[in-house]
Amino acid sequence: AAKKVVKCFRALCCKGPPPARPEYDLVCIGLTGSGKTSLLSKLCSESPNSVVSTTGFSIKAVPFQNAILNVKELGGADNIRKYWSRYYQGSQGVIFVLDSASSEDDLETARNELHSALQHPQLCTLPFLILANHQDKPAARSVQEIRLFPQETAGVWMCVSMDLTILILFIYTLLSFTREFEVIDSNIDSDSGYDFM
């Protein structure tokens, strides 16, 4: 029995810690109410009941099997958006969350903010994911309408769905910095998406 304990001790202590998972820094932007906080809460397996809209910014470590995402979520209020660019440094990718059921005025504001981000020197070479959220609402725009949303399409991935596997694919794209435009319309069961929105 003592030999088994020694063998177990050596196995645990002599191998060293498991290799560290690579970490990637992302910035998550979008207007107030677009669902940024809910997205990150879902990715972190937090209760949807504990979601409180972000004022200012927050940082969440989102663990995946092979990587950790350090996501800076920036508040989307008018008085906060002018400071977004101060938080872009060091980002390796961008998630832009769009409320697909928003008013025309809010959609135009979101389009302008997206265009500014796509043109920003610290972000213009990075992969972008536009996540069209709130697809379960009656006023949600169609895939064809969302397809027309960005003014520029180089390096932009779009997800018109509630499928978080698309987000995971985008994350792995960070490794290769794919710069191709895609619209992905993948409607799958609500267990994998935002069934609570």
How far apart CA 156 and CA 172 sit, in angstroms, is 14
List C-alpha distances in Å: 183 to 50, 136, 146, 161, 177.
31, 18, 9, 10, 17
Residue 152: what pLDDT? 60
The DSSP bridge partners found for residue 70 are 25, 61
Residue 85: what pLDDT? 95
Q: Taking a C-beta distance cutoff of 8 angstroms, is the pair 106, 65 a contact?
A: no
Which residues contribute to the annotated binding site for Mg(2+)? 37, 54
Which residues contribute to the annotated binding site? 30-37, 54, 76, 133-136
Single pTM value for the model: 0.76
Closest CA to 43 of 158, 177, 166: 166
Q: How many CA atoms lie within 13 A of 174 on its CB side?
A: 23
| Mean pLDDT to the nearest integer, 105-124 | 92
Q: Which residues of 58-89 are buried (b: 16+ CB within 10 A; e: fewer)?
A: bebebeeeebebbbbbbbbeeebbeebeebbe
Using DSSP, state whether 59 is helix, strand or coil.
strand
| pLDDT tens track for 30-82 | 999 999 998 888 878 888 787 788 888 899 998 877 778 899 999 999 999 99
Residue 17: what pLDDT? 66
Which tokens in the block code for residue 197?
A: 């929105």
Which residues contribute to the annotated binding site for GTP? 30-37, 76, 133-136
Q: Which fold has domain 20-192?
A: Rossmann fold (3.40.50)
How far apart CA 183 and CA 19 sit, in angstroms, is 35
Question: Which carries the bigger pLDDT value, residue 172 or residue 59?
Answer: 59
